[in-house]
Amino acid sequence: MTVSQLTSQIERVLKSGLPPVVWVKGEISNVNLHRVSGHLYFTLKDKDACVDCVMFKSEASRLKFRPEDGHEMIVTGRVGVYAQKGRYQIYASQLQPLGKGALELAFQQLRAKLEAEGLFRPERRKPLPKYPTSVALVTSRQTAALQDMLKVLRRYSWLRICIYHVPVQGDGSAEQIAAALKCLNDGCEKIGGVDVILLARGGGSLEDLWEFNEEIVARAIVASRIPVITGIGHEIDTSIADLVADYFAHTPTEAAQVVVGAWRNAKELVDSSRSRIRTLLRHLIEGAKHRLGAIERHEVFRRPTDRINSLRQLLDDRQRALRSGVDDLFSDAESRLMRLATRLSERHPRHRAALIRQQLNSTEVRLRRASEHRVRELGQKLQLIEGHLKALSVDEVLKRGYTITTRKKDGAIVRSASGVKTGETIVTRTGDGAIESVVEDAKQPRLF
C-alpha cells in the first residue's frame, strides 16, 4: 500500500478504537498562537508522555483566558491523524483550567495586566461632582437595577436623568457598553452633556457578570472624561470595571446614593446659609445706621461754613508758601549764576597760562633739588666704593704683613715651591720695600 493508504487506515483504526470526544488532562507547553491563521498550537504532556494539540481559530477566539506554558488543563476534542507529518494529534474544541475556572483565570490575568499599567492607582481616578444636575444611567431597561436607581434619583426632581439602554449580559454586550461610554463622552445627540455616569446591573453569577470583566469595557472607563460610578452585582461581587471606575459602589442603589449624597443635605445647607446671611445683613444694616448717625452729627453738617473758611485759610497759607518758595528759587538761581561767573572768570586763558607757568617753576625747583640730592647720594656711594677698593689694593695688603714673591727674570708670581729652581733669583715684596734672594734648595730648604 502507499503511504497515504497506510495513513488513512491508521486514522480509521484510531476513529473506530477511540470515542468521538475525549477529555485529556495534562500540562500545556510550547503554546503558540499563529498570527496569520489564528490557530492555537500547543503540547499536552504528563511525566511519561506528550501529544501535540491544535485548536482552530473559531474555537480559540472564544477563549476567555490566555493559555500559557505550565497551566494544568483538561482538553476536550477528538484524536486524528495529521497526514502531512505522519503523526496523530488532538483537535481541541475546549480548554478548561484545573483548580480554577476559565473565567476566574481570565479575570486574574486581565487584573494583573491592568494593574501593571497603573490603571488601579487611586491618583488616576477623577473627582466626582459634588452637586451633579445631569446623570446618565448606562444599563438595561429590563433590569431591576434600573428601578432601584430611579427610586433613589427621582426623589430629587431637579435632576436630569438620562437612560442609555445597553444589554448587560451575553456576547457583544461589552462592545455596546464601551460604545455607550464613548458616545456620552463625545456628546451624544440624544442625551447631551452629563455630569456623571452610572454603570450598573443587578447580581448574578460570574458568567452573568462577565461582560463587565472585558478589557474593552475597562479601557472605555479609563478613557472617559466624565466620572464613572459602577454599581455591579451584589456586595460580594467585584469586577474589572469596578477596579478601574472613579468610584466603586457595591450595589446599584449605593451608586445612586453616592450621586445624590451632597443633595441630601442641600436643603439644610440652604436653610443654614439663609439664616447666616440674614444675620449678617442685619448686622451690616445696623452698622450702616450707626455710621450714618455719626455722620449726621459731625461738625461739617452742623456748621458747614466753618469748613469752607478753614479751607480758605489753608489756601491763603499755601499761596504765601508758594510765593516764598518761588522767591527762594530765584535767589538760589542768582547765587548759582554768580558762582558760575566766578568760575568762568577763573578759567580765562590768561589765568590758565599764569597757573601753568607757576606749576612749571615749581616743577623746575623740585627737579633741581632732586638732582642735587641724587648727585650727593652717588658721591657718597663712590667714596664708599673707593674706600673698599683701596682697602683691597695690593699695597694695603702688604702693609698688613703679607708678602708677594716673584721670579726676577720674568716677574711671575711664585705660587708654590715647585715654581722655582735652585740658583734662581727671586724678589720678595713687603709693605716697605723688596728683598732679593737666591734659591739654594727648592724642595728642602736648609734650616741652619
* Residue 99: per-residue pLDDT: 58
Q: Kindly state the cell numbers that stand for 57.
A: 481559530
* Residue 103: per-residue pLDDT: 64
What structural domains does the chain harbor?
3-99 (2.40.50.140), 129-261 (3.40.50.261), 398-438 (no CATH)
To the nearest 10°, report the CA torsion of 118, 119, 121, 124.
110
Mean pLDDT by 10 residues, the chain (448 residues): 85 82 86 87 86 89 77 85 85 78 72 82 86 89 86 87 87 88 78 82 76 87 90 78 87 88 80 88 90 77 75 88 90 88 73 80 89 88 84 75 85 83 86 85 56
CA 229 to chain centre: 32
* Residue 191: per-residue pLDDT: 62
- Global model pTM greater than 0.85: no
* Residue 281: per-residue pLDDT: 92
How does pLDDT run across 65-116, given as a tens digit for each residue? 777 777 788 889 988 888 888 888 889 988 887 755 666 777 777 788 888 8
Distance CA 314, CA 317 (A): 5
How does pLDDT run across 342-382, given as a tens digit for each residue? 777 767 677 777 778 888 888 888 898 888 888 888 888 88
Backbone angles phi, psi at 249, to 5 degrees: -100, 145
* Residue 204: per-residue pLDDT: 72
Backbone angles phi, psi at 100, to 5 degrees: -145, 155
* Residue 448: per-residue pLDDT: 47
Task: Work out the burial of residue 90: count CB atoms within 10 Å of its CB; fewer than 13 is exposed, 13-18 middle, 19 or more buried.
Answer: buried
